[in-house]
């Protein structure tokens, strides 16, 4: 299997979403060439703690750009345009008012797929609006679904909007490349991070409401998983029991096999309705064990 070995991508992006999109393509075997400004990509020097990296590339930059090549240049350089001529995909995040002439690229090379990533899309009333991870979460509606129903909503950490959008951007790009290979006609993909997250980052709240039988809503409908991030003796630890066998395995681990016959607790809706009872059962065990011990037992 050659994967994407015959696909070439020119990456002008300089933030998480574009970088993660092209990383996924590179992981699939694509030849990704990153075009950096003379001072280097901003993520090369980024640190969560503000630490001086001593000239070394940051961990996040190394993660996002592994398996890629890098050159210094701009979208108007002849050498860069020569690379674009032989490419299948151009990825950029310059925004609505800046950057490259997208229509000129597509007119010159009709086979080309141009993926333009922006917070709110290249057109419309929010096209030039400044954005951060927090505003994207708010505008997409995803922040509404986080937290307990009786408490204010909470934002999701870790630039999750960008990571989520990067996955969808890679999928959209592959679909456009497939079409271009079969028709000779590329595409302009106006990719809005907020619009993607309006679908992908709502934590499937409507689906969870359906699974609970669509009871009348008297408060904000939030999908609060249980078990989720739970207290241990020396900290906090996360669980995922989306499948029935995963929940059964958890019951075995916490030494409550007697609950196998409780069909209500075995369902997401049932645990939600009996949250206080269920969390008392779970925490009676988790708070008596260290995180490392729980990890070891879960791995058995």
The residues annotated with a catalytic role in the active site are: 162
**What residues contact 191, with CB distance under 8 A and at least 6 apart?**
115, 116, 117, 118, 121, 165, 168, 169, 172
In contact, 156 and 134? CB cutoff 8 Å: no
Q: What is the per-residue DSSP string for 150-161?
A: TS---PPPSSHH
Q: Residue 45 has which token pair?
A: 């020097």
In contact, 228 and 168? CB cutoff 8 Å: no
DSSP alpha helix (H) spans, 86-186: 102-108, 133-140, 160-183
SS3 content of the chain, % helix, strand, coil (to 5): 45, 15, 45
b/e 230-253 (16+ beta carbons within 10 angstroms → b): bebeeeebebebeeeeebeebbeb
């Amino acid at each position: 299997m050659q994967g994407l070995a015959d696909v070439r991508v020119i990456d002008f992006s300089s933030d998480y979403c574009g970088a993660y999109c092209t990383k996924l393509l590179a992981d699939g075997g694509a030849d990704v060439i990153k075009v950096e400004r003379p001072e280097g990509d901003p993520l090369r020097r980024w640190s969560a703690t503000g630490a001086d990296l001593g000239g070394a590339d940051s961990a996040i930059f190394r993660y996002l750009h592994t398996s890629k090549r890098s050159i210094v240049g701009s979208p108007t350089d002849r050498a860069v345009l020569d690379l674009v001529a032989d490419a299948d995909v151009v990825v950029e995040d310059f925004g609505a008012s800046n950057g490259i002439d997208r229509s000129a690229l597509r007119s010159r090379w009709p086979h080309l797929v141009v993926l333009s990533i922006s917070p709110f899309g290249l057109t419309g009333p929010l096209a030039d609006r400044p954005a951060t991870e927090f505003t994207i979460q708010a505008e997409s509606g995803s922040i509404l679904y986080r937290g307990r129903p009786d408490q204010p909503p909470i934002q999701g950490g870790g630039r999750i909007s960008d990571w989520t959008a990067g996955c969808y951007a890679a999928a959209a790009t592959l679909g456009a490349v497939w079409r271009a290979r079969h028709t000779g006609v590329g595409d302009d993909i106006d990719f809005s991070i907020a619009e993607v997250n309006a679908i992908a980052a709502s934590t499937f709240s409507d689906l969870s409401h359906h699974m609970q039988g669509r009871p009348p809503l008297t408060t904000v409908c939030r999908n609060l998983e249980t078990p989720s991030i739970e207290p241990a003796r020396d900290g906090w630890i996360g669980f995922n029991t989306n499948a029935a066998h995963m929940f059964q395995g958890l019951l075995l681990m916490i030494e409550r096999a007697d609950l196998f016959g409780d069909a209500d607790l075995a369902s997401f809706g049932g645990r939600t309705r009996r949250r206080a009872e269920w969390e008392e059962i779970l925490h009676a065990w988790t708070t008596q064990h260290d995180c490392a011990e729980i990890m070891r037992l879960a791995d058995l």
